[in-house]
Chain A
Amino acid sequence: MIDKASDGATPGSERAYRSFYWRYMVEPYLYLTPALVLIGGVMMFPLIIGISYSFQSIELLRPFNTGWIGLDNYLDLWSDRKFWLALENTFWWTFLSISFQFTLGLGLAMLLNTHFYGKRLFQTLVFLPWAVPTFLSALTWSWLFNPVIGPLPHWMAGLGILSEPYNILGDPDLALWGPIVANIWFGIPFFAITLLAALQSIPSELYEAAAIDGASPWQSFTKITLPFLAPMIAITVMLRTIWIANFADLIFVMTGGGPANSTQIVSSYIFTTAFRKLDFGYASAIAVALLVLLMMYAVFLLWLRKKLVKV
């Protein structure tokens, strides 16, 4: 389309338009098409299909019981105690995981922002848990909690936290702590890395100026470090909240949602419903409910961001 043309036969405006059209509408899409096709076919299309499933009865174990059933799945969901329990668990799971991950991650980032001997090696080693495949983290921690081969129950009993060395993953009151601890272990590096990057972007002159103005280390932390990190912290925590709320791998491997659904979160409930019960209609209804909740959260986020940016 664009080539050497010195004849000048075509009017300039049309040529300019064509070359504009090429650069603006055609050429970029040559690069984008494979990605768009895959995302459309493997994510967007199934999402729409999934929404339609939520109005149907699709149980692979009962193949003849298939068809449109209107809002029945949603009515079942409304009166499903397990779903409401899963919602509650999702909240605790997310809140506790992110609080510990963030606090410990910030501590690690601040340590890494100082100088000490062997820092590079230290950094590689403490970030290693991030690279451990999640299924393996889950298995490792469930073994650590196992009184037969793991030391944790014995140590906890020794410290008086447990009356005797037993597996907390089998105790409905404590089981959720198992995956939470594994999640903290797995998630500290993420916060440490992102916060460290943010810390290093604070100009050191600011601290020098504060020191000259007579600020104590604690004052520099609260008056300079935290305000500087605040926007980054807000965005990271908000996005990470979504991610953790939906992170079902650890729970599925460590407890399978049990005992007695005491560790089931919404996304693991979707998975067990689809994978164990093969009830796709109901699983899709839970998924749509989750989607709606997440959208509400996203709207809340956008609103919050607007408020924060204004101030």
Chain B
Amino acid sequence: MMHQSFFTRSFLHIGKYAALSFYLVFALFPLFWLLKIAVTPDQLMFSEGTRLWPSLMTIENFSIVVLQTDFVAYFGNSLIVSLGTALVTTVIAAATGYAFSRFDFGGKRIIVALMLITQMFPLLMIIAPIYKIIASVGLLNSLTSLIIVYTAFNIPFASFLMQSFFDAIPRELEEAAMVDGCTRFAALRKIIFPLTLPGLGATLGFVFTAAWSELLFALMLISKNETMTFPVGLLTFVSKFSVDWGQMMAAGVLALIPSCFFFIFIQRYLVQGLTAGAVKG
């Protein structure tokens, strides 16, 4: 009774590894296919369409994308927008999260509720007014407009995330510093700031990833080739040259690189990031 039979156990064992392989294949196969088409030479594209790996490999698609298209410029634009958004958002969110974590103040509940609500409602609702406002101040087709819009969109989430990092630092450390002779701001700078560096890094990573992926607002606000971000550029490319499969996928693989980089960077904080704002309040 107490001991499961050898067969039951090995059956469970096999079942577990079968399940693990299923998840692994499901997660990686699409990315693998992206890479596979990207390294398949044009002439083999159709004849070996469903083979798991082409009989010949090439990096020609990558070199065309990098050397002969505007993707490098798109990549640069996306980098500017994402890094700019990430930096500005993190600074502002750190201040907000600090206030949420350390102060009890008039209107706190209302402000927290307001931020939670902005998390719940679809931002697409305001795409038309935002277009008109941006147009009226003459910022259409500018990266600045994207940075401003993305920063505002990401502040609520990033603030809750930063708050969770500040909450993890005991208040007594600040109090000890204040007794030791610091002003509140000096305590923030000398004690809290160094301790929250990992949190700042994680927030930076989350916001970067979000900004790097954003498509619809960029599509609406950017129509000039010079200021297109990577998603917009890729989508335009797809609708214009829908047969250059290899190049599109090579561009896709390139777009994946920064995301993967930041993903590995923020992996440790995923739980905190995904639950910030969702479970609080």
Contacts and interface: CB of A to CB of B under 8 A. Distances in A.
A46 B128 CA distance: 9
A232 B49 CA distance: 45
Given A39-B115, A252-B216, A144 B33 contact: yes
Interface stretch (B69-77, B189-197, B267-275): B267-275
Contacts of A29: 99, 105
Interface string A259-288: 000000001001100110000100110011
B27 A185 contact: yes
Contacts of B271: 193-194, 196-197
A292 to B, nearest CB: 11
A116 interface: yes
B53 interface: no
Contacts of B125: 47, 50, 270, 287-288, 290-291
Q: Identify whether the interface residues of A are mostly helix, strand, loop, or mixed.
A: helix
A214 to B, nearest CB: 10
Interface stretch (A5-13, A127-135, A169-177): A127-135
B252 A50 contact: no
A194 B245 CA distance: 36
Contacts of B216: 248-249, 252, 271, 275
B213 A154 contact: no
A176 B263 CA distance: 29
Interface in A38-69: 38-39, 41-47, 49-50, 53, 58
Contacts of B256: 132-133, 136
B24 to A, nearest CB: 6
A128 B28 CA distance: 8
A42 to B, nearest CB: 3
B79 interface: no
A122 B24 contact: yes
Interface string B119-144: 01111111111111100000000000
A258 interface: no
Nearest to A275: B220
Contacts of B132: 49, 58, 280
B186 interface: no
A42 B153 contact: yes
Nearest to B248: A139
B120 A298 contact: yes
B215 A253 contact: yes
Given A31-B95, A143-B249, A193 B274 contact: yes
A74 interface: no
A42 B152 contact: yes
- Interface size, A (range): 35 or more
A88 B151 CA distance: 33
A283 B128 contact: yes
B57 interface: no
Interface stretch (A79-87, A202-210, A222-230, A234-242): A234-242
B182 interface: no
A294 B121 contact: yes
Nearest to B158: A35
Contact of A140 (B16, B105, B184, B252): B252
A281 B260 CA distance: 40
Contact of A39 (B99, B114, B122): B114
A239 B280 CA distance: 12
A271 B271 CA distance: 31
A32 B129 contact: no
Interface of B: 16-17, 19-20, 23-24, 26-28, 30-31, 33-34, 37, 45-46, 49-50, 92-93, 95-96, 98-99, 103-106, 108, 111, 114-115, 118, 120-133, 148-149, 151-153, 155-156, 159, 184, 209, 212-213, 215-216, 219-220, 231, 234-235, 238, 245, 248-249, 252, 255-256, 259-260, 262-264, 267, 270-271, 274-275, 278-279
7 contacts: A27-B105, A128-B27, A128-B263, A135-B213, A185-B27, A275-B127, A287-B125
Interface of A: 23-25, 27-29, 31-32, 34-36, 38-39, 41-47, 49-50, 53, 58, 104, 107-108, 111, 114, 116, 122, 124-137, 139-141, 143-144, 148-151, 154, 185, 188, 190, 193-194, 196-197, 232, 235-236, 239, 242, 246, 248-249, 252-253, 267, 270-271, 274-275, 280, 283-284, 287-288, 290-291, 294, 298
